Amino acid sequence: MSFYAAFGTVLLLLAVTAPAALLFGLGGAVAARSRFLPVSWFGRGYIAIVRGVPDIAFFLFFVIALDQGIEYLRHKVRCPDWTDPVRQGNDFVVCDLAKMPLSSSPQWMHEVYGFWLAVFTFAIVFGAFAGNVLFGAMRSVPRAQLETAEAYGMTPRQTFWRILMPQMWVYALPGLSNLWMVLIKATPLLFLLGVEDIVYWARELGGSKAPRFTDYPHPDWRMWYFLALLVFYLVFTKVSEVVLDRLTRRLSRGQATLAGEAQRKEGVAA
Amino acid sequence: MSCFETLQSYAFRSLGYGERLLPRSDFTLCDQFVLIGSGLIWNVYFGVLAVLGGFVFANALAMGKASRRPALRLPATWFIFLFRGSPLFIQFFFAYFLFLSLKSVSPLFDPLSSAAVGALFVLFLNTSAYSAEIFYGALQSIPKGDMEAANAYGISGWSRFRRIMFPTMMRLAWPSYTNEAIFLFHATTLVFFSGFPAWRQQGDALYYANYFADKTFNPFIPYPILAFYFILLTLTVIWAFGRVNQRLNKHVPQERRQKIKLKMQLIR
């Protein structure tokens, strides 16, 4: 049963992470475009650093770093009169009240907390990628469009919201759909972050059961479980491909791009 | 232990030479640098062999996908979809358990369940699929004029492929292929985190980095060291591929040459 529920975990992760990453990306791209230098550096730095380092190193790093960061902050607030150093040699010690989640809280709290930590990590990493795509897309909106907006007397903010934002998406879509595919394929890494996802259950349930201890003795089925996962991902990829294709067609309608032009001609011919 | 002694005992630890026991306590910066660097040998081993083998197979696959005969085209297309459409992580897991069950069929398959052979095999197939897609794309964008010129000169068949199509295809594909190679090197870090066991704690760079992070509860030292090594590795790959790119573009006027643009991708 948990195995099937784990598919839900994966889908939930995708549903939550995609918008979150898009938001991070948008923030990064807007920051990188900013005319105020430190903000621009921050945006560019964020995009450049996260993109340059191997993926799973980041996942392994961020989860511990975030966890410790949160606990450290809580430690500072909750237990101000704690005198021992937090780093004692190889140990990371905070007072009991600062433990996240509290050691007295039930098991499901721990799982939910782990899940959100994973979502946050995914969002940071994929936000950098989305940021790069969106940054490029904002730059490929034709200059003339923005100049026209200025000529009509729009303020920079109006230009951004009314002209740049609506037009940017069609340029960003190829990159973003690529990113979505990558995101789908990144979900098994949840397993590394300690969330009990489908990979975890495939290993657990498929493993050979000691015949004497369970009601359902069976040999090593892990191979078949993983085959099922493989098929699941393939189908998911195929479906996304079809959906994104349709979306691209819909978005290019009436745009000043080659695809939009082709659609216009089709319409005229028909 | 001085740093030099550490170097002596751990430099080839990942291959099984030198000190058996990993450091247990009092980790120095030197320990971490040496051991993680030692693990990097595995990453280089997987990466180099998979790229070399994958290059040949990818060309065959690209030709297959471009073929007009369905008997060649369909298997190639499906192979590429299979490996590009599913996570490498799952591929590793599936392959490992597949190899385990093959083991009971015949001792012939024994070496496949070790990381050194089995994981290399999976990486080889995976990079072949990704590179084949790149080569296929390049094959489709060979200028029509080149082929017409070749036909006009009476060059056809195999010699047309060898002299005209292949060099142009390589030249067009090379920048993306460089990215694919870099990406493959990054993907080698997944090996010991999937099913494949690290025999006698002989793991790759990430395996040791993770070991230190687990033991010290401090991710802020081993992972940046790992990142440092990978940046070095990436620069080396870029340099080597850049040399080939220069050679491929020798005859092209300076301003029309394609520069290799770095485009990182995450997870495959």
Does any domain span residue B149?
A: yes
Q: What is the tens place of the pLDDT at every residue in A75-134?
A: 777 776 666 666 655 556 666 666 666 666 666 777 777 778 778 888 888 888 888 888
* CATH code: domain of residue B170: 1.10.3720.10
Does any domain span residue B197?
A: yes
CB atoms under 10 Å from CB of B85, counted, come to 20
Q: Which of B214, B232, B149 is nearest to A64 (CA)?
A: B214
Q: Which of B114, B111, B132 is nearest to B53 (CA)?
A: B132
CB spacing of B264 vs A52 below 8 angstroms: yes
What is the chain A residue with the closest CA to B100?
A223
The model's confidence at residue A6, banded by pLDDT at 50, 70 and 90, is confident
Does any domain span residue B246?
A: yes
| Distant-in-sequence, close-in-space partners of A83: CB < 8 Å, separation ≥ 6 | none
The model's confidence at residue A211, banded by pLDDT at 50, 70 and 90, is very low
CB spacing of A229 vs B226 below 8 angstroms: no
Does any domain span residue B266?
A: no
3-state secondary structure B180-193: HHHHHHHHHHHHHH
Say how far apart CA A221 and CA A213 lie, in whole Å. Answer: 17
Q: Tens place of pLDDT for every residue, chain B, 268 residues?
A: 677 777 777 778 778 777 777 777 777 788 888 888 888 889 999 999 999 999 999 999 999 998 889 999 999 999 998 998 888 888 888 888 888 888 777 777 777 777 788 889 999 999 999 999 899 988 888 888 888 899 999 988 889 989 888 998 998 888 888 888 888 888 888 888 777 877 777 788 888 888 888 887 777 788 888 888 888 888 888 889 989 988 888 887 766 666 666 555 545 5
CA distances (Å), origin B140, targets A113, A186, B63: 49, 30, 11
User: What pLDDT was estimated at residue B215?
Assistant: 81
Query: Looking at beta carbons, which residues of chain A come within 8 Å of B218?
Result: 87, 90, 92
Say how far apart CA B37 and CA B109 lie, in whole Å. Answer: 31
E-state strands within A21-167? 87-88, 91-92
CB spacing of A230 vs B94 below 8 angstroms: yes
Phi, then psi, of B197 in degrees rounded to 5: -80, 150
The tally of domains found in chain B comes to 1
Does any domain span residue B97?
A: yes
Interface test with B, best of A122, A185, A227 (most B CBs within 10 A): A185
Query: Looking at beta carbons, which residues of chain A come within 8 Å of B82?
Result: 234
Range(s) of the domain holding residue B62: 3-18+25-256
Q: What is the ipTM of this complex?
A: 0.70
Say how far apart CA A201 and CA A222 lie, in whole Å. Answer: 10
Distance from A118 to chain B by nearest Cα, in Å?
A: 15
Does any domain span residue B264?
A: no
Q: How far apart are the first and last CA of chain B?
A: 41
List the CATH code of the domain at A2-199.
1.10.3720.10
Query: Looking at beta carbons, which residues of chain B come within 8 Å of A187?
Result: 87
Distance from A23 to chain B by nearest Cα, in Å?
A: 18
